[in-house]
Chains A and B, each alone.
Chain A
Amino acid sequence: MSVLAETAAPARAAAWYWIPRAVLFGLLAFIIFGPLVNLLLWTVTEKWYFPHALPLEYGFSYWGRVFSPRGNAMGSLGTSALVACLTVFLSLLLAIPAGYALARLRLPFRSLILLALLVPNAFPNLPIYVNIARLFYQIGLNGTILGVVLVHTTHGLVYAVWIATAAFGAIEPELEEAARSSGASAFRAFRDVMLPLAAPGLMASAIFVFLESLDEFTGTFFVGAPDVTTLPLLLYTSAAGGNYQIASITALILLVPSIAFMFVVERFLRADVLANIGR
């Protein structure tokens, strides 16, 4: 009897501990998920006005409007996907040679070069975009896909190069040397040994750059608008026009890849690569 009471008392104390924790976690969950639930509600709302706490009618009619072939959302989705894919392509084209050189070859001022790539993300970029827009206007790049891709690439380049450098740096140098000493050319050793081994890290950098491009607003706002309308710009114009359903559905389309990435990022970025970033 007394043994039972002795074990029950600490258990009861531990249970009491959960009350302040539960209150705090509940509050935190409300702060984090409240706005997200609100977004989900707006995407399926047909009718919702003050002072009703919840929508009066639910339905998917706005989804039909967003995804109709003539709707401008499909056009924006296409533009966003095209811009993001081209940005990934251009970034990797620049980052793979640069990352290899930074990880493996002799370079003067190596840490300065790594730092130089970070600089565009270490200053407020709005004044920069304003002046890029002015330069692009003079050479006819304003309002073109290429102009927007170039702006997104500048912004994403630090992730691409830093992660590529870390990915190449995490490969044992002996593997490349073995390929070279068994007669492979430098290019062949790179293509058949280094590139496949660095692939998961490069994949992670590609996803980073893709998401940065997909979510980018400010640069597109100055360089692309009104000719290049990506999803963030469509979100902004529909929200400014008071069309909360279209804005919320667009926001949800942008949200899904970002949340999905949060759960898989650790699979692509192995700890040994992660520890190498910025070195």
Chain B
Amino acid sequence: MRRYLPGLLLVSPALAIIVFLFLVPLAGAVTGAFQDADGGFSFGNFIKTYQLYSNDILFTIVIVALSALLTAALSVAIAGYLTLGTSPAAVAILRWLYRWPLFIPFIVVGQILRTFLAKNGLMNNIFVATGLITPLHTVGFLDWRGIVIAFVWKQTPFVTLLLAGAMASIDRGTVEAARNLGASRLRILLEIVLPQAAPTLMVALTLSIVTMMSVLSVPLMIASQSPTVITVDMAFRINAYGDYGVANALGLISLVLTGAVAWIYLRQTMRENAR
């Protein structure tokens, strides 16, 4: 124990922050979800949550799942081209292009897509000006579609960055062998490159799902009317009613949902490692 003392002393302040500002509030979220107004144990918050927000919970799952799927498809396409592309100039252009949204803050993403995707936003204005559609046919995207577009817009570069890194480090021999046998690039990507980079894709997607479940600013700015995602509901419960019980019940549900994703991922990797 003595020889560990200096190291533990130096690490303990950082760990104290995690304990007091993460574990204690987490415990507060779990116990708060099961407390009624008088502090007694009850399932009342969950019953109320189910009555008021079961649609929004379903809505959240669909939005996050759809965003994750679209992000995965786009990331595989971009990272695949970066890895297997034959024209150095095209690869360089794509590499320069794709990562712009990576460091743009979510709140800014919310603002720029809100003005861009609105019924009278720049996107529709351009379509009208170029004669693609008439002003009568413009459609605003400031609903669930806006949230999905914002999530995919922001998360694709992140997943692509990690995935392209993983694809670059796989064994090139199998790729060259398949190419010599005349396999198409799409087939090489899907049957040789992607399976080897799949663990990284799953990690990146899991992290993205956690992010999407946490972000409040994007749904708040793009589509805060009902139906909406549960982060907006939690903020509303607290700001409008000071109702911590239902907010914590919703919080616990979002923790369980992401926990389920993480568990599926972990089980998958363990099964693959056991093979």
Q: State the main secondary structure of chain A at its contact with B.
A: helix
Chain B 102-146 per-residue mask, 1 if CB under 8 angstroms from chain A, else 0: 111111101111111000111101101100000100000000000
Within 8 Å CB of A258, what residues of B? 103-105, 108
B71 within 8 Å of A (CB atoms): no
- Cα A105 to Cα B110 in complex, Å, equals 44
Does B251 lie within 8 Å of A127, measured CB to CB? yes
Does B97 lie within 8 Å of A29, measured CB to CB? yes
A119 within 8 Å of B (CB atoms): yes
Given A101-B10, A120-B18, also A39-B244 (CB < 8 A): no
- Cα A240 to Cα B101 in complex, Å, equals 23
A206 within 8 Å of B (CB atoms): no
Chain A 195-213 per-residue mask, 1 if CB under 8 angstroms from chain B, else 0: 0000000000000000100
Does B105 lie within 8 Å of A232, measured CB to CB? yes
Within 8 Å CB of A95, what residues of B? 14
A248 within 8 Å of B (CB atoms): yes
Given A97-B13, A125-B214, A235-B108, also A37-B122 (CB < 8 A): yes
- Cα A33 to Cα B234 in complex, Å, equals 33
Does B112 lie within 8 Å of A39, measured CB to CB? yes
Question: Which of A51-59, A71-79, A175-183 is found at the contact surface with chain B?
Answer: A51-59
- Cα A219 to Cα B160 in complex, Å, equals 28
Does B22 lie within 8 Å of A128, measured CB to CB? yes
Does B25 lie within 8 Å of A39, measured CB to CB? no
B94 within 8 Å of A (CB atoms): yes
A146 within 8 Å of B (CB atoms): no
Chain A 241-258 per-residue mask, 1 if CB under 8 angstroms from chain B, else 0: 000100110010011001
Within 8 Å CB of A127, what residues of B? 25-26, 29, 234, 247-248, 250-252, 254-255
Does B111 lie within 8 Å of A132, measured CB to CB? no
B260 within 8 Å of A (CB atoms): no
Does B94 lie within 8 Å of A25, measured CB to CB? yes
- Cα A33 to Cα B4 in complex, Å, equals 53
Does A52 lie within 8 Å of B125, measured CB to CB? yes
Within 8 Å CB of A161, what residues of B? 14
Within 8 Å CB of A50, what residues of B? 120, 135
A42 within 8 Å of B (CB atoms): yes
Does A51 lie within 8 Å of B18, measured CB to CB? no
A140 within 8 Å of B (CB atoms): no
CB within 8 A of B238: which of A51, A222, A244?
Answer: A222
CB distance from A7 to the nearest CB of B (A): 18
A10 within 8 Å of B (CB atoms): no
Interface residues of A in 5-19 (CB under 8 A from B): 14, 17-18
B185 within 8 Å of A (CB atoms): no
CB within 8 A of B251: which of A28, A35, A126?
Answer: A126
B220 within 8 Å of A (CB atoms): yes
- Cα A32 to Cα B129 in complex, Å, equals 20
Within 8 Å CB of B97, what residues of A? 25, 28-29, 32
Whose C-beta in chain B lies nearest to the C-beta of A108? Answer: B4
Within 8 Å CB of B192, what residues of A? none
Interface residues of B in 217-275 (CB under 8 A from A): 217, 220-221, 231, 234-235, 238, 244, 247-248, 250-252, 254-255, 258-259, 262
- Cα A25 to Cα B234 in complex, Å, equals 40
A184 within 8 Å of B (CB atoms): no
B205 within 8 Å of A (CB atoms): no
Does A98 lie within 8 Å of B14, measured CB to CB? yes
B43 within 8 Å of A (CB atoms): no
Does A211 lie within 8 Å of B108, measured CB to CB? no
Whose C-beta in chain A lies nearest to the C-beta of B111? Answer: A251
Within 8 Å CB of A214, what residues of B? 105
Chain B CB within 10 Å — which of A28, A130, A240 has the most?
A130
Given A124-B210, A127-B248, also A154-B22 (CB < 8 A): yes
B177 within 8 Å of A (CB atoms): no
CB distance from A110 to the nearest CB of B (A): 9
- Cα A232 to Cα B107 in complex, Å, equals 6
Does A21 lie within 8 Å of B90, measured CB to CB? yes
Within 8 Å CB of B80, what residues of A? none
Q: List 21 A-B contacts (CB under 8 A).
A: A17-B87, A18-B90, A38-B121, A52-B125, A93-B13, A95-B14, A113-B15, A123-B210, A123-B258, A124-B254, A127-B252, A132-B21, A132-B25, A154-B18, A157-B17, A161-B14, A236-B220, A258-B103, A258-B108, A259-B103, A262-B99
- A residues touching B (Cβ–Cβ < 8 Å)? 14, 17-18, 21, 25, 28-29, 31-39, 41-42, 49-54, 93-95, 97-98, 100-102, 105-108, 113, 116-117, 119-135, 150-151, 153-154, 157, 161, 211, 214-215, 217-218, 221-222, 232, 235-236, 239-240, 244, 247-248, 251, 254-255, 258-259, 261-262
- B residues touching A (Cβ–Cβ < 8 Å)? 3-4, 6-8, 10-11, 13-15, 17-18, 21-22, 24-26, 28-29, 32, 87, 90, 93-94, 97-108, 110-116, 120-123, 125-126, 128-129, 135, 153, 207, 210, 213-217, 220-221, 231, 234-235, 238, 244, 247-248, 250-252, 254-255, 258-259, 262
